[in-house]
Amino acid sequence: MQGNTACAEGALAAGCNFFGGYPITPSTEIAEHMARRLPKKDGVFVQMEDEIASIATVIGASWTGARAMTATSGPGFSLMMENIGYAVMTETPCVIVNIQRGGPSTGQPTMGAQGDMLQCRFGSHGDYSTIALCPSSVQEMYDLTVKAFNLADRFRVPVFVMSDEVIGHTRERITIPDHVEIVPRRPLEKGTLPFHGGDDGVPGFPEFGRGHGVHVTGLTHDERGYPEATDPHIHETLVRRLVSKVESARHDIADYEVVNPDAETVFVTYGPPTRTVKQVMHDHPDERVGHLHLRIVWPFPERLLKIFTNAKTFIVPEMNMGQIVREVERHTCLPVIRVSKLGGELHTPDELQKLLEGRP
């Protein structure tokens, strides 16, 4: 199965019943597959006039109770940023798939990249926190798309599946389970204010048409949902809760794989470079070389670096000029080697093996 198709099938298995999107390379296969499959499952597919409208329809559909998603790439992702901020402020669960390509601007429509990793974390304005999953295989495209919907509903946030052209267009054998776990939204309890966070900071969800009168606004609002844009205390309380509900659960959210925890040299990867590192470690087994494979990059699980108690060096290969490597550098005092690669080509096993051997 192709990676983009696996993403769409994972969404359908997770109960996605609304897709609003606009075709853009290299994500278009997701929209095409959803256009064919959703109507047969009593779902709704809408192609909008652009990506701004697409994310707007996803937000609206989510408020009716739909499990809603969109898929895009570079320029379209940039256009969505304002409405992504609106989804954060209104605590709207939804899934946004970004099949990354080379940028900036139109860049390389048919080549892979990982240049949007900081954009998905900081691209909209203001203070907020996000959840971003990064598949490194076609199987993970399926599995992590399912997980994205569960995380979106659990935390009432937009969740990103940050894949790329390499994985999106790779074809591999995958296992499709008979059933997947579905974590539903917690409904708003009667008599509870619609934006009261409770113990975990996540309000119950008041679906439109289910008996709740709710005011939904991108303005700073109180727990009733009414605008209170000039009260510093209300704004601080709201924004701190929006951030805390994700950041306080960062280690519960974390999804990762550790190889050789006693290693001295440790690769830290997410997405396609993970494949190269696994090939290197398969071809040249060495207990002195370890691997931390992150399936979820945001929120960054910084304490995982401490698993490698004998580590002397971290190596971070990325298909960008160095984005997630900044997080590794922030959370360790050990040397960190950036292995940046631009242009759309993936790191080769030989390149990384030469680095381990100390050759240029």
Tell me, what DSSP letter sits at residue 41? G
CATH T-level fold of 3-168: Rossmann fold (3.40.50)
Asked whether 105 and 131 are in contact (CB, 8 A), the reply is no
In this chain, the answer to whether the domains covering 3-168 and 258-356 adopt an identical fold is yes
Q: Which residues make Cβ contacts (< 8 Å) with residue 178, sequence separation at least 6?
A: none
What is the structure's pLDDT at 209?
86
Between CA 79 and CA 48 the distance in angstroms is 13
What does each C-alpha distance from 43 to 17, 36, 38, 91, 355 come to in angstroms? 4, 10, 5, 23, 50
Nearest to 149 by CA among 308, 8, 316, 332: 8
Q: Per the structure block, which two tokens stand in for 71? A: 């898929």
What is the structure's pLDDT at 262?
97
Asked whether 278 and 317 are in contact (CB, 8 A), the reply is no
Asked whether 260 and 320 are in contact (CB, 8 A), the reply is no
What is the structure's pLDDT at 210?
82
Task: Mark out the alpha helices in the chain (DSSP H runs).
Answer: 3-13, 28-37, 51-63, 74-79, 81-89, 119-122, 138-155, 165-168, 232-247, 250-253, 273-283, 325-330, 349-356
Nearest to 99 by CA among 42, 32, 39: 32
Asked whether 349 and 282 are in contact (CB, 8 A), the reply is no
Residues in the chain: 360
Beta-ladder partners of 289: 265
- Residue pLDDT tens, the chain, 360 long: 999 999 999 999 999 999 999 999 999 999 999 999 999 999 999 999 999 999 999 999 999 999 999 999 999 999 999 999 999 999 999 999 999 999 999 999 999 999 999 999 999 999 999 999 999 999 999 999 999 999 999 999 999 999 999 999 999 999 999 999 999 999 999 889 999 998 999 999 998 888 888 999 999 999 999 999 999 999 999 999 999 999 999 999 999 999 999 999 999 999 999 999 999 999 999 999 999 999 999 999 999 999 999 999 999 999 999 999 999 999 999 999 999 999 999 999 999 999 999 854
Question: Model pTM?
Answer: 0.96
With b for 16 or more beta-carbon neighbours within 10 A and e for fewer, the 293-309 pattern comes to bbbbbbbbbeebbeebe
Asked whether 97 and 7 are in contact (CB, 8 A), the reply is yes
Q: Where are the domains of the chain?
A: 3-168, 258-356
Phi, psi of 26 (to 5 degrees): -105, 35
Q: Which residue has the tokens 């951030």?
A: 243
Phi, psi of 132 (to 5 degrees): -135, 125
Between CA 233 and CA 123 the distance in angstroms is 25
What is the structure's pLDDT at 359?
57
Q: Per the structure block, which two tokens stand in for 183? A: 């974590």
What is the structure's pLDDT at 320?
98
Q: Per the structure block, which two tokens stand in for 134? A: 């990064």
Number of H helices, E strands in the chain: 13, 12
Between CA 157 and CA 243 the distance in angstroms is 10
Q: What is the identity of the amino acid at 299?
A: P
What is the structure's pLDDT at 211?
81
Q: What CATH class is the domain 258-356?
A: alpha beta
Between CA 31 and CA 69 the distance in angstroms is 10
Question: 135 by DSSP, 3-state: which?
Answer: coil
